[in-house]
Amino acid sequence: MVSASNRRSGVTSERVALLVLSVLLAAAVTALGVTLYENTQTIKNFQKSLQNLQDEAKNLTGNLSGTEPWKVEQPTKPPSVRNKTCPSCEDGWEPHGGKCYFFSSVTLTWDQSRKQCKSMRGDLVVINSREEQRFLVSRVSEKKEKPYEMFWIGLTDSKKEGEWIWVDDTRLNASLTFWHEGEPNNWKRPDRDGENCVTMWEKDGVKNLKTWFDQSCKSSQKSICEKLEKA
């Protein structure tokens, strides 16, 4: 038989173990409660910060919507900086007056020269002003390698004799022509079809920029292409 003292000892041990478990459970519940509280506070703080950001965004939007467009300062780069970082003309092309010019060193017929210009997204040059003619004359003077070198320009009367048309389909302005003395003469000795295309030939000491000569479109000459500068 189990003695009374042994039964009391067993009961006491069970009570101690139960007490320890109760303490541990209470501690765990307390810790969980603290963690939940901290998380709840963190969520509340986050929600509060988010609300503050939304309020600031609304205020900023309201301020911008009430600003007059012409009073909003826009950052710009000086033209010199912009031209250096983004050239207005491609390599080999020369800028002038809002256009880019290419002086070909290859001799081709008028039609072949025009195809070459178009392959570079341009066309044979159309001369619209005395200032442009002056620029081209000066450049041809520097570009020519031989005294009698000529450069095709975008002017022809191949569709109707005597009716000179630029490659952009505009008629030649009679008040803005630069024919050399005695030109155009439509000389037919080298070509039975006559001289229906125009070249620019810079002669030393040329007067009044008179450098245009009609030539056989089948002859091989250098050429001048043009296209608009890049925006």
Q: Kindly list the domain boundaries of the chain, sorted by start residue.
A: 4-70, 90-228
d(Cα 124, Cα 63) in Å, to the nearest integer?
Answer: 54
- The confidence band for 63, taking pLDDT boundaries of 50, 70 and 90, is very low
- Is residue 78's pLDDT more than 60? no
pLDDT in tens, 189-220: 888 899 999 999 987 667 789 999 999 999 99
Place of tokens 């939940």: 36
> Band of the pLDDT at 72, cuts 50, 70, 90?
very low
Residue 164 Cα to chain centre, angstroms: 36
Residue 189 tokens, joined: 């000795």
Beta carbons within 8 Å of 55's beta carbon, 6+ residues apart:
none
How many Cβ atoms sit within 10 Å of the Cβ of residue 131? 11
Calpha distance 198→110 (Å, rounded): 9
pLDDT score for 114: 98
Pairwise pLDDT comparison (20 vs 213), residue with the higher score: 213
User: Rounded to an integer, what distance in angstroms lies between the CA atom of residue 139 and that of residue 15?
Assistant: 113
Q: Per the confidence metrics, is the pTM higher than 0.75?
A: no
pLDDT in tens, 119-177: 999 999 999 999 999 999 999 999 988 888 999 999 999 999 999 999 999 999 999 99
Beta bridge partners of 215: 197
- The residue among 160, 192, 161, 198 whose CA lies nearest residue 177 is 198
The band of 16, judged by pLDDT with boundaries at 50, 70 and 90, is low
At 129, the amino acid letter reads S
Instruction: Answer yes or no: is pLDDT of 18 > 50.
Output: yes
Query: In this predicted model, what pLDDT tens digit does every residue of 22-57 receive, in sequence order?
Result: 767 666 656 665 565 565 666 666 566 656 656 655
Give the pLDDT confidence score for residue 95 in this predicted structure: 96
Cα(152)–Cα(221) distance, integer angstroms: 6
Integer Cα distance of 77 and 83 in angstroms:
10
Classify 90-228 by CATH class.
Answer: alpha beta
* Cα–Cα nearest to 178, from 132, 218, 143: 132
pLDDT at 189: 83
Q: What pLDDT score does 49 carry?
A: 61
Query: For residues 182 and 135, is the Cβ–Cβ distance under 8 A?
Result: no
Contact 124, 111 (CB under 8 A): no
